[in-house]
Amino acid sequence: MVSLKESDLRLFIDSVRRYFEVTSRVAPEITSAFLGVGEVQGHEFNGIVTFSGPMNGQVTVSLPMRAVRELLLIQHETKLTEANLLDAVGEIANTLAGNARRNLGKDLDISVPTTVRGAHVAGQRARQHPYVITFRWNTYPGMVCVDLAQAA
């Protein structure tokens, strides 16, 4: 499978920055971008969007509970239930996937986000070594795992 280009990865980094700047008026600091090896460790709340068509794989957004709670409070949401926290992280993943679809092509199909609680970001892999982007927003760590490859 053909790898993503650097410009494709840049769009995810830019999308993460834009999401947090627009939502909270606080830009995240991108702390690293690397190829994941083995099981990728995330945070408590994970939103996952699956891609199919010209590219296959998934994008996962992973945040600690306190970060998701703060994002909801910034948006004036007072119901901080686990279901709302999961919905929020799923919506972030959906937003990043939608931005990617605009840039990577309209033929790219994206799923409705699924959400998972737990630090292990696993699943079937499109790439042996997915791209991992880590960031810090408002003192909280976060991660986006981009596991996409061109379809054969």
Range 6-150: architecture per CATH: 3-Layer(aba) Sandwich (3.40)
- Secondary structure element (H or E) that encloses residue 35, with its range: strand 29-35
Rounded Cα distance, 54 and 71, in Å: 33
Structure tokens at 20: 């947090």
> pLDDT digit string (tens) for 67-126?
999 999 999 999 999 999 999 999 999 999 988 887 777 788 999 999 999 876 655 555
What is the pTM for the complete model shown?
Answer: 0.89
> pLDDT digit string (tens) for 35-70?
888 778 889 999 999 999 888 889 999 999 999 999
Rounded Cα distance, 88 and 63, in Å: 10
> pLDDT digit string (tens) for 5-38?
777 788 899 999 999 999 999 999 999 988 888 7
Rounded Cα distance, 30 and 45, in Å: 19
Domain ranges (residues) in the chain: 6-150
Place of tokens 């994008």: 59
